[in-house]
């Protein structure tokens, strides 16, 4: 299976919110890097992380518009969307995936998190918390 195919299957698991199959797609030493640069390491850490994220963000899903397989990994451009705090949001996003031996060894996301943060504060985008 190509790296691009592994990543596509991984995204399908994310969009299905299938935590066990997401975890099964990760290397034991998997690294997740969020859009603020925080790094989380390990399959079991990420299993719990995805469980918490799906509880926080209902209907989270990824839409990929372009995908390129490069020597450094698979690069993707598209949108991330979900609903939190009763507010639906959609943001442009990009991802970088490193695949090793048919498993996702690294998943890095680049996106503006402000719509999610605003929905959790209960304030309109660009508003401030009371």
17 secondary structure, DSSP code:
T
What average pLDDT score do residues 105-121 get?
Answer: 79
Separation of alpha carbons 29 and 52, rounded Å = 20
Q: Is 100 helix (H, G, I), strand (E, B) or coil?
A: strand
Q: Would you say residue 127 has pLDDT above 70? A: no
Q: What pLDDT, on a 0 to 100 scale, did the predictor assign at position 122? A: 63
pLDDT score, position 112 = 79
Largest CA distance in the chain: 50
Look up the pTM and report it. Answer: 0.87
Q: Please check whether residue 89 is in contact with residue 82, taking contact to mean a CB–CB distance below 8 angstroms.
A: yes
pLDDT digits (tens, 9 = 90+) for 45-93: 999 999 999 999 999 999 999 999 998 899 999 999 999 888 888 999 9
**3-state SS track over 55-73:** HHCEEEEEEEEEEEEECCE
Structural domains in the chain, sorted by start: 3-117 (3.10.450.50)
Find where tokens 């705090």 sit: 85
Residue percentage of the chain with pLDDT more than 70: 88
């Amino acid at each position: 299976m190509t790296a691009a195919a592994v990543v596509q299957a991984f995204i399908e698991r994310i969009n299905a919110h299938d935590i066990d199959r997401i975890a099964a797609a990760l290397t034991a030493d998997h690294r997740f890097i969020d859009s603020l640069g925080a790094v989380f390491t390990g399959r079991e850490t990420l299993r719990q992380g995805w469980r918490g994220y799906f509880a926080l963000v209902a209907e989270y899903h990824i839409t990929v518009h372009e995908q390129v397989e490069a020597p450094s990994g698979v690069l993707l451009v598209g949108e991330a969307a979900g609903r939190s705090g009763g507010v639906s949001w959609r943001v442009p996003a990009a991802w970088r995936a490193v695949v090793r031996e048919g498993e996702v060894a690294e998943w890095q996301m680049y996106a503006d998190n402000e719509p999610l943060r605003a929905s959790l504060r209960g304030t309109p985008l660009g508003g401030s918390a009371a």
